[in-house]
Amino acid sequence: MCSRLPHALVWALAIVVFPPAIQGQVVLKPKLQPKTTRLYNSETNTKQILTLAGMDVETRATQFTITEETLGARGADGTLRLLETIRKLQQEITLPGFTVTFDSSNPGKKAPLPQLEPMLDLLRAISKAKTTLVHNKLDQVIKVEGINELIKGLDPAVRKNFSTQFAPEIVLSRWKNRNQRIPSKPVRIGDKWEHTSVMDLEAGQKIKIKRSYSYTGTVKEGPNTLHRITSRSLEATLSQDAPEGSPTKITASKLKVAKGAGEILVDLEHGIIYSDSDTTRMTGTLTLEVNGMTLDGRLDLTIAINRKVDSPQK
């Protein structure tokens, strides 16, 4: 003799078996897809106005890169290796009185001043970079390989100045931080969360930007259905752990975000961040120590970053 469950109980069981994660929620963190290769175009623009003793010193920099990312097969232990190769690197740096340019298609071009040649040596090394990111079975970055080879041939003074940017543990931390922007738990349209991004700069300088993120739903771009995340910059800090013997040190700073907004588009079908953009302007005061002399100044800094997948899926 079989018994029948009341309809109300059947619906109650359905809610338990199929929880709300299916009902309007989505996990936005993309899942890596082994044995795939993709190209990314990235452009970074910075504009800095440093005011000291009533004088404005303006510098600008533009960098364009084409990066190839190749995922191998997943190992027996669940690890997955991603090989990142720089295919093209162009950079233009405008300083008071002159401009420094670099193009990986013409790496031998000299700097306008001999003392700037080490800067080009660094860009020459970066343009040949091949870095491997090792992921565990949860797609979390656990190891970075190839970084030491990147800068080992540089002038010792240059290597020391940029050691905080390219130390393996710093690069690993940077990738982990970047991957933590997108939550691994399900979210609904309208859900918000916060994350602090860290940028490691030369000579031990570090910029931290706290952002608020919001999931706004899906958009179409060609045949792709993309999940859209918007961001708003909330707070910014600038600090420096200067290398020993550095003639210039930032001893204090107080910045605020003048404006800042960004967008991340996630392609869950192909397991990638389809595009990633942000523009943040920071302004405020800082105190420098230059050869033992203390100088108070003001900083107006804008950083704009755009990154987008370029190649068709392979």
Average pLDDT of each block of 10 consecutive residues along the chain (314 residues)?
A: 46 45 79 96 97 94 97 96 97 93 96 88 90 95 87 75 77 90 96 95 89 98 95 96 83 97 97 97 95 93 97 53
Residue-wise DSSP of 99-132:
EEEEETTSTTPPPSSGGGHHHHHHHHHHHT-EEE
What pLDDT does residue 311 have? 63
> Residue type at 246?
S
Cα separation, 228 vs 265, whole angstroms: 5
What are the sequence ranges of the domains in the chain? 35-309
Full-model pTM: 0.87
What pLDDT does residue 15 have? 44
Cα separation, 301 vs 313, whole angstroms: 37
CATH class of 35-309: mainly beta
